[in-house]
Amino acid sequence: MKYVFGYPYWIYKIDPKSYDKQKIDADILNNYYINPTRNNWDNKSYMDSKLHHSNSDRGNPHFKEIDYTKLMRQYHMVFSQFIKELNIGEPKAQIDITNYTAMKTGQYMRKHNHIGDKDTGCDFTCVHYFRYNPKEHPSTTFYNPSGTSNVIRYMRPSHYNRLNIKNPEHSYRLPFFQLEAQEDEIHIMPSEVEHEVPPFESDELRVTIVVNPSIK
């Protein structure tokens, strides 16, 4: 577990041989090349994202429906361990795969969170770095919920200029932070923390799978 802005972040590793990763990868790649800008989530907003993803577009006959059955078993194993580490008794967790995202050069996902409302939101959000090259792809950018983080660099520059932007322990005064990631890792964080994927330059496809667990 790491702390970013004082919030706990959990990191687990999923064995790529424990499920049908190649099949899921091939189906996502097929869908991406059918329409690299598939976006039925915020495409009607003036701040729409530019990427391919399946959110709010399940059941679309133009695309293959991804079979997550075997992968979901691995998620349940991860979340069983996660629930124990939460130390809040033995609640049950509802796990929903929200969508996958796929993007290349010039594509991005705008800032958002996953807290939703009482009926549609979730307690945590998880990013599974399914196809990811840290030398080519940015990790997710998280934004500091503290209102003073955007001005502290001007108000307290002597301290701010000594902060290491790659050290999570220094994130409490940074306006945003990118937690380093590796392929096959799954990162779990509280759902209220805003985050985005910034534009980047790479011909390698970056794919993540987003999972929202709720405590019941």
Residue 216 pLDDT > 90, yes or no? no
Give the HSE-up count for residue 198: Cα atoms under 13 Å, Cβ half-sphere: 11
Is the distance from CB of 195 to CB of 105 less than 8 angstroms?
Answer: no
Amino acid at 155: M
Question: What's the structural domain count of the chain?
Answer: 1
Domain range for 82 is: 2-215
d(CA 114, CA 212) in angstroms, rounded, equals: 8
pLDDT per residue as tens digits for the range 12-34: 999 999 999 999 999 999 999 99
pLDDT per residue as tens digits for the range 123-181: 999 999 999 999 999 999 999 999 888 898 899 999 999 999 999 999 999 999 999 99
Q: Where is 83: in which H helix or E strand?
A: helix 69-86
Give the HSE-up count for residue 183: Cα atoms under 13 Å, Cβ half-sphere: 14
- b/e for 45-60, b at 16 or more Cβ within 10 A? eeeebebbbbbebeee
**pTM across the whole model:** 0.92
d(CA 188, CA 150) in angstroms, rounded, equals: 25
Q: Is 54 helix (H, G, I), strand (E, B) or coil?
A: coil
Amino acid at 170: H
**Count of other CB atoms within 10 angstroms of residue 119:** 5
Is the distance from CB of 26 to CB of 67 less than 8 angstroms?
Answer: no
Amino acid at 137: H
The mean pLDDT value of the chain amounts to 91
Is the distance from CB of 176 to CB of 114 less than 8 angstroms?
Answer: no
Identify the residue with better confidence: 67 or 58. 67
Give the HSE-up count for residue 5: Cα atoms under 13 Å, Cβ half-sphere: 22
The CATH number of the domain holding residue 94 is 2.60.120.620
Reference 130, options 200, 83, 78, 187; nearest CA is 187
Is the distance from CB of 139 to CB of 181 less than 8 angstroms?
Answer: yes
pLDDT per residue as tens digits for the range 78-136: 998 998 888 888 777 888 898 999 999 999 998 999 887 666 678 999 999 999 999 99
Tokens, residue 156 = 């307290």
